[in-house]
Structure 1
Amino acid sequence: MRVPVVHQQARRRRARYARLLWNGAELLVTLGVVLMLLVAHQLWWTNRQAREGAERKVQALEREWEWEGEGEGDRGVRDGDGGGAAADGSGADDGSAATGGGSGSRSAPDSASAASSTPRPRWTQAYAILTIPRLDLRVPVAEGISKGNVLNKGYVGHYPETAQPGRAGNFALAGHRNTHGEPFRYINRLRRGDRIEVETSTAVYTYVVDRTLAQTSAGDGGVIREIPRSTVRTGYGYKDPGYYLTLTTCTPEYTSKYRLVVWGKLGSMRPR
């Protein structure tokens, strides 16, 4: 009877291969878990953090403006006690006098005086609230389009060289379409005639969606000019001066290759 010879070297080689395969499998599983956590952080956690922060900022702005309004009301009462009524005795305030009635709204050109009275915001300062009823969206507007200090906080950013709300020219805004609150994720759903409100400490400006450019290059600066008109797709945009609103975001979703643009025109303004 022959006794089988055990090849120790072959056994050790098989054990080494098994350990390598096991270690490789562990590494792949670990990498998969890390990637899943990163995706969850980007797609869920950053959205949650940014939305909560943006909501708190909206509430803070509303409280601040309410306090300012109460303070101005107190001053108005004191001034009224001293004979601050209208000269004709009608008691009409500045808003109704400007509009010729008691509606409190003004035409686009008349809004410039109210807009010009608003101090220029500091860099990265949140100073307005953007409301889009169709999208159930209400977010802060901050000066500048810095990712770290504005966009990644779930805010909408104002292009610094463009007009302010209610002013002649183009009030141009940028916002994330995905992650970090993604306020502009669904602006592709906006249709002509939809209302967009921009609220500041002094007034509420209502813009009306007019046109959409579904895709243009990321470097198409023409879409945010004073008279917005695409330099890439020249058939899109305007030729005449006006009171414009521009919303820009990345497209397609989860990329930054192109830009999606929505344009609106100022329809009305009412003082706060």
Structure 2
Amino acid sequence: MAVRLIVRTFSELCITVGTVIVLFVVYVMFWTGVQAESATAGQIDTLEQEWIDRPVPGTTAAAPPPKAYTTGKGIAVMYIPRLGRNWEWPVLEGTSTAILKKGLGHYAATARLGETGNFSVAGHRRTYGDPFKDFPRLRPGDAVVLTDGTTWYTYRVARTPYRTVPTDIGVIDPVPRRSGFDGPGRYLTLTTCEPEWGSSHRLIAWAHLDATQPVTQGKPPALTG
């Protein structure tokens, strides 16, 4: 009887543990994606409404000066055609865990979008919508397009993704180390975790600003070609 009780208890424990593991996998692979889809759509809707409410250049209302970025608030929308036809993600200010559940995050200590320096952005490789799941597919010349509602900024990837460790903060310097850039410029850095389901390393993609155009002229060639 004692042996039978032990076997039955152990079996029930295994079933319970197995159920918990399955539920956790479902949460990580499915539910976080559902949460991210809702959160990112809301962030993009909020940004687009703010852009609609801005004074139109040339009207009696003077265009306000650029606002300082606010932690947790959307600042731009990013498109990377290489990563998918419908790949579209909001960029928020900050890189905390809570912020990266809602979209991509801008490193607060780095340059503003389009300005001289290094506009640096982090994103999840897996979970919360898997924004950078296909990050290793990036190749030199690929377009990374952002808009802040007034201007389109088209950056071009400079090299294949670079693998490094999390403590290598020089990758987001104004002139990022190991990027191949040899002086000040208007740069973009993208960072994500490596390996795909881990975080022991980081993958880095560097890009340089290739072109800008007002949103009034329509989408840039990188998104319409």
Asked if Structure 1 and Structure 2 have the same fold, meaning a TM-score greater than 0.5 normalized by the shorter chain, the answer is: yes
2:76 paired with 1:128: yes
Instruction: Show the counterpart of 1:147.
Output: 97
2:42 paired with 1:53: no
- 1:51 Cα deviation from its structure 2 partner: 1.9
In 1, Cα distance between the equivalents of 2:180 and 2:173? 10
Structure 2: which amino acid aligns with 1:26? E
Instruction: Show the counterpart of 1:171.
Output: 119
In 2, Cα distance between the equivalents of 1:203 and 1:17? 73
Instruction: Show the counterpart of 1:255.
Output: 198
CA contact 1:188–1:214 (8 Å) conserved in 2: no
The list of structure 1 runs, each at least 4 consecutive aligned residues, that deviate by more than 6 angstroms after superposition, is none
3-state SS of paired residue (2:132): coil
Q: How large is the RMSD of aligned CA atoms in angstroms?
A: 1.9
2:189 paired with 1:246: yes
Question: How do 1:1-272 residues align onto structure 2 when only pairs under 5 Å count?
Answer: 15-68=1-54, 71-72=55-56, 76=59, 117-136=65-84, 137-148=87-98, 150-153=99-102, 155-230=103-178, 236-272=179-215
- 1:141 Cα deviation from its structure 2 partner: 0.5
Aligned residues: 212
In 1, Cα distance between the equivalents of 2:20 and 2:105? 32
Structure 1 unaligned runs (5+)?
A: 1-14, 80-113, 231-235
State the TM-score, normalized to the length of structure 1.
Answer: 0.73
- 1:117 Cα deviation from its structure 2 partner: 4.2
In 2, Cα distance between the equivalents of 1:184 and 1:18? 50
State the TM-score, normalized to the length of structure 2.
Answer: 0.88
Rg larger in structure: 1
Deviates more, 1:163-172 or 1:134-143: 134-143
- 1:64 Cα deviation from its structure 2 partner: 2.4
In 2, Cα distance between the equivalents of 1:56 and 1:143? 15
Identity fraction in percent: 39
In 2, Cα distance between the equivalents of 1:25 and 1:161? 53
Structure 2: which amino acid aligns with 1:244? Y
In 1, Cα distance between the equivalents of 2:176 and 2:13? 52
